[in-house]
Structure 1
Amino acid sequence: MNTFSVIPSMVQLQLCVSHLLYIFASVFSTVFNWTSGVFMPSTSSVSQVDIKVDQSIVKNETSPTSVNYHFTRKCNYKCGFCFHTAKTSFVLPLDEAKRGLNLLKQSGMEKINFSGGEPFLHDKGDFLGKLVQYCKQDLQLPSVSIVSNGSMIKEKWFQKYGEDLDILAISCDSFDEATNQLIGRTQGRKSHIDNLHKIRNWCQQYKVAFKINSVINTFNIDEDMTDNILQLNPVRWKVFQCLLIDGENAGEDALREAERFVISDQMFQEFLDRHSSVPCLVPESNEKMRNSYLILDEYMRFLDCREGRKDPSMSILDVGVKEAICFSGFDEKMFRERGGKYVWSKADMKLEW
């Protein structure tokens, strides 16, 4: 069930009209600035336009309980199936990013997950660390997490920011270095597996819950990861089915060609069956994954993936969370069915450090 399915048809029309009015106002404001001899960026000019959605629309709004903020697209890995590719090097200024996070908190956000790209690349991880501190100390969010390939993380980052981080998820698709090379999850001669174990130990030392994310594809579909996962003992092992997104890892304008990585639903289920004894396994098929995540891009726009591509909303910095989220395509029912809300604060996990 998507957002529009719970909104009456007349309200849907009002939302569409509001969306069109916003676009018209944005274009008119920009043209006016041009003809006046003054040009202002669209974000600044749009903020002067007072276009609001009827209150009858927002009463059924979706709450941004858990948000994934991809604040950068830059990455030092070249994973062939990546579905959030490095199309731009843009990153919001820190103050603007904090303003957006505060808007999300005011609208009901409980968990923020920072991702990329590779989030530790920008400003050597300090930008990310400052956002983590802000979300935990200032906004007092119950859960702050990160997804990273792990290659850029240093121990001094844990020393400075680890106290405010609840969960660190490291992406690892194989425990065979040759397979990681084929996938593109590697950098030079560094061992991705050795680094994974090092970060696991740091998480234990600095009291950060450790998680592993794996994308199952044609190169690792026959691998048995049971012993390695049990040894690392993550709080969650999130297992994704390789997903195609037009314009990202599929299609004419894509930077990746992930078709050769795609596996069938049956193949994915066979992999899950092989690992059914792993207690921390959390499987996510394409059906569950596509519409059940609230994704913010580097401009703080929600990304709607319902049509197999990423269609951006307006930025929450321009129109606020309530209006932008209506165009996110978020399926809150599927979010809950896939176990999107769980014990995500390390204070509540009762882990033995």
Structure 2
Amino acid sequence: MDTFTLNWHITEACNFQCQYCFAKWQKREQKELLHTPAKVRLLLDEVAQLPVLLNFKTLRLNLVGGEIFLYPRDLLNIIQEAKARKMHLSAITNASLLDQHLNNLIATHFETIGFSVDSLNTATNTAIGRCTKKQAMDVAKMKAHIASIRTHNPKIQVKINTVVNLHNQGEYLGDFIQDVKPSKWKIFKMLPILDKRLAISDGEFQAFLDRHQQFASIISSENNDEMTQSYLMVDPFGRFFQNGQEQGYFYSEPIIKVGVCKALKQIPFSLEKFSRRYLMHAGL
């Protein structure tokens, strides 16, 4: 394994209101870093040191939110700065804001693009909060965007992310997976950090996995323990953070203030769990 993956949650803002979303951070009095190009450069200079510090060859910067395409100009700046530092790029989106211009941007700059899909049912998506004020997630439009992106870049890796929760735990997503044919399908048990109302049992999570066993070759599933401390994450304000489940979040000091080395030591992160996850699922 030569590549280390860093997840930067560039914004808390989102046009969906998913009940289980953990993208809520304490520091609302500050502007998110993505809006200040000078701070973006400083942050990327610091995190560019991670491969050397952790004994990897390259860095993959995974851009997540919130919804990253709410701020396309700021996102493009991050993309350009990351590529100037020879970082590989991936991202996660709910696809609701995509158009032909953004599809071209994704196809041009990203090696992997992930789509959040919890249900194919309008009522379920509405209950979860996977909707805008006007409508729930549009599955047909998402499929069209995926096809468009692949037309411009046939080599791009398409990933589907699914959070199994109280509302969708009994559903079957196999028809969608069969149509889209992603290279990876990450299935998470809902992590009850800020809201426990949609939490499910281990048995319900396993039942969902069993129902989709035909896709086992592309599935990477993670229960709450496997998710904890196995990701290295940066919040919108430039701090490393980790979830402590019942304790909420652990934060480092701002990376551009104290440097990446000191900030990394201030949060719990298991390189062993990170490596085990990537070795087991070949980078999924």
Q: TM-score, normalised by structure 1?
A: 0.71
Higher Cα Rg, which structure: 1
CA deviation vs aligned residue, 1:176-200 (integer Å, no higher than 9, x gap): 1111111110121364212221221
Give the match for residue 140 of structure 1: 86
Secondary structure in structure 2 of the residue aligned to 1:313: strand
Does the residue aligned with 2:233 lie in a helix, a strand or coil?
Answer: strand
The answer on 1:233 being equivalent to 2:178 is: no
Which of 145, 150, 161 is the equivalent residue of 1:204? 150
- Paired position in structure 1 for 2:60: 111
SS state at 1:203 partner: helix
Over the residues paired in the alignment, what is the CA RMSD in angstroms? 2.1
Partner of 2:259: 320
Asked if 1:263 corresponds to 2:212, the answer is no
Match of 2:7 among 57, 64, 68: 68
Q: Quick one: percent identity of the two aligned structures?
A: 28
Give the whole-Å Cα distance in 2 for the aligned partners of 1:139 and 1:307.
Answer: 34
How many aligned positions are there?
A: 267
* Contact 1:203 1:209 (8 Å CA) reproduced: no
SS in 2 for 1:65: strand
* 1:130 counterpart (65, 73, 77): 77
Q: Does the Cα contact within 8 Å between 2:232 and 2:241 map onto a contact in 1?
A: yes
Alpha-carbon separation, structure 2, partners of 1:94 and 1:83: 26
Letter in 1 for 2:160: I
Q: For residues 235 and 129 of structure 1, what CA distance do their matches in structure 2 show?
A: 25
Structure 1 position 155 matched with structure 2 position 100: yes
Q: CA deviation at 1:98?
A: 2.2
> Is residue 5–residue 232 contact of structure 2 (8 Å, CA) maintained in 1?
yes
String of CA shifts for 1:127-175, please: whole Å, max 9, x gaps: 1122123222x1112x211111111122112334531211111111001
In structure 2, the gaps of 5 or more residues are 52-57
- Given candidates 74, 84, 90, the residue that maps to 2:31 is 90
Matches within 5 A, 1:291-302: 291-302=229-240
Partner amino acid, structure 2, of 1:277: Q
Unaligned residue ranges in structure 1 (runs of 5+): 1-62, 250-257, 345-353
Partner amino acid, structure 2, of 1:179: T
Give me the whole-angstrom Cα distance separating, in 2, the residues matched to 1:331 and 1:191.
35
Report the equivalent of 1:311. 250
Q: Please tell me the residue identity of whatever aligns with 1:317.
A: I
- Tell me the amino acid that sits aligned with residue 151 of structure 1: S
Answer yes or no: is the 8 Å Cα contact 2:125–2:137 preserved in 1: no
Shift of 1:210: 1.4
In the other structure, the counterpart of 1:274 is 211
Amino acid at match of 2:257: D
Show the counterpart of 2:54: none
Alignment correspondent of 1:172: 117
Between the aligned partners of 1:295 and 1:116, the Cα distance in structure 2 is: 11
Q: Hey, what's the Cα distance between the residues in 1 that align with 2:198 and 2:137?
A: 22
TM-score normalised over the length of structure 2: 0.87
**Aligned residue in 2 for 1:221:** 169
- CA–CA distance in structure 2, aligned partners of residues 117 and 263 of structure 1: 23
Identify the match of residue 121 of structure 1 among 54, 70, 86: 70
Secondary structure at the counterpart of residue 68 of structure 2:
coil
Name the aligned partner's letter for residue 327 of structure 1: Q
- Cα separation, partners in 2 of 1:307 and 1:151, compared to 1, 3 Å: closer
Rounded to whole Å, the distance in 1 between the matches of 2:282 and 2:77 is 25
Q: Residue 133 of structure 1 aligns to which amino acid in structure 2?
A: Q
Which among 171, 184, 193 is matched to residue 129 of structure 2? Answer: 184
Who is 1:50 aligned against?
A: none
> What residue in structure 2 maps to residue 18 of structure 1?
none
1:104 Cα deviation from its structure 2 partner: 1.1
SS at match of 1:84: coil
2:272 and 2:25 map into 1 onto residues whose CA distance is 31
Distance in 2 separating the partners of 1:307 and 1:216: 17
Relative to total residues, which structure has the larger strand share, 1 or 2?
2
